[in-house]
Homo-oligomer: A and B are copies of this chain.
Amino acid sequence: MNPAPAVAAKTRASVIDDASARAKAIAAAGDLFYARGIQSVGMDTLSRDAGIGLKRLYQLFPSKEAIVEQVLAARHEKWTTGLDTAARRAPTPRDKLLAIFDFLGEWFASDGFRGCVFINSFGELGGKSPRIAEIARAHKQQFQHYLAELAADAGAPAFLAPQLALLAEGAQTTAAISGADSAADARAAAVTLIDAALGTQAR
């Protein structure tokens, strides 16, 4: 009848319930890992920043690596949702493809932007952690797939989506490292590639 109180009854003396504590920890870990890199952030720092004791942290997560994985899963969810929201607002399939680059532009301009967390994590840990490498690979593949759907909706040939993906990836690293407004460059290039691809179609 009342499932939420039932859960609360199980963890009697908790200041906050497990789900909220987990969410707080993942949010804090996401910010810390993104800003400083994963290995540079110790569990003590995470405990302090999240406001959750070390003991509870290790009751909620089996290891730091598990936290990393859940952070990446959360960031993937956030990315996918943001992308889809931006694309949904655009009226035509062509506009949906371009909306991706507007979405990137807003992201690049946000405070603390430091590139794609999947690219960063892959560079830092992909060489020694197959799990992290696979998570990054899956994330990028899903983006490719999403782009391919949008491109197909626009009636474009199959080669367009990978080309636009390269622009988006390049814009992320360039904006992070060089601080340039690479979203605008990427968008302009995307217009050219899209028009060229649609022009080659025998419609």
- Write the residues of chain A forming the contact surface with B, with a CB cutoff of 8 angstroms: 34-37, 39-40, 114-115, 118-128, 133, 136-137, 140-141, 144, 159, 162-163, 165-171, 173-174, 176-180, 182, 185-186, 188-189, 192-193, 196
Also in contact, A178 and B128, with CB within 8 A (given A166-B166, A170-B166, A173-B173) = no
Interface of A is mostly: helix
Q: Which residues of B lie under 8 Å from residue A35 when comparing CB positions?
A: 127
Q: Bound complex: CA of A40 vs CA of B132, how far in Å?
A: 14
Instruction: Kindly report which residue of chain B lies nearest to residue A179, judged by CB atoms.
Output: B137
Instruction: Kindly report which residue of chain B lies nearest to residue A161, judged by CB atoms.
Output: B185
Also in contact, A178 and B115, with CB within 8 A (given A37-B127, A166-B166, A170-B169) = no
Also in contact, A140 and B178, with CB within 8 A (given A166-B166, A185-B159, A189-B166) = yes
Which of B120, B165, B169, B178 is the one whose CB lies under 8 Å from A124? B120
Q: Which residues of B lie under 8 Å from residue A178 when comparing CB positions?
A: 137, 140-141, 144
CB-based contact B169/A122 at 8 Å: no
Q: Bound complex: CA of A166 vs CA of B178, how far in Å?
A: 12
**Contact sample, A vs B, 5 pairs, CB 8 Å cutoff:** A126-B177, A163-B189, A166-B174, A169-B174, A192-B193
Q: Which residues of B lie under 8 Å from residue A125 when comparing CB positions?
A: 37, 40
Also in contact, A165 and B170, with CB within 8 A (given A39-B124, A178-B144, A189-B193) = yes
Nearest Cβ on chain B to A103's Cβ, whole angstroms: 16
Q: Which residues of B lie under 8 Å from residue A127 when comparing CB positions?
A: 34-37, 40, 114
CB-based contact A177/B36 at 8 Å: no
Given contacts A37-B123, A114-B127, 13 further A-B contacts (CB under 8 A): A39-B40, A119-B119, A122-B123, A137-B177, A140-B177, A140-B178, A144-B178, A159-B185, A163-B188, A166-B170, A169-B170, A170-B170, A170-B173
